[in-house]
Amino acid sequence: MFRLLITLTLLCFASVKSHAGSCPVLIQRIDQTLSASKQISKEQFIEIKQLRDQGKKAHNSGEHKESEDLLNQALKILES
């Protein structure tokens, strides 16, 4: 029983850690795509930048699911 508890605890921490690691990758991807993009409007640029900044703030405060959602929204706008 003790081994099961330890295993489950480690699995929970491992999934949180891997989830947290994707936020910086998404931020970097947004930055690279944004700097290379020539076809976005000023309004889109502002919206993408706001979503990116909100996503980074959420990541820094430990809200990784919210961060990923915000960052993926920004990428969706960029890639449309």
Global confidence as pTM: 0.72
Q: What is the pLDDT of residues 5-55, one digit of tens each?
A: 455 555 554 444 444 578 899 999 999 988 888 788 999 999 999 999 999
In the chain, how many domains are there? 1
Cβ atoms of residues 78 and 33 within 8 Å:
yes
Quote the domain boundaries for residue 36: 2-78
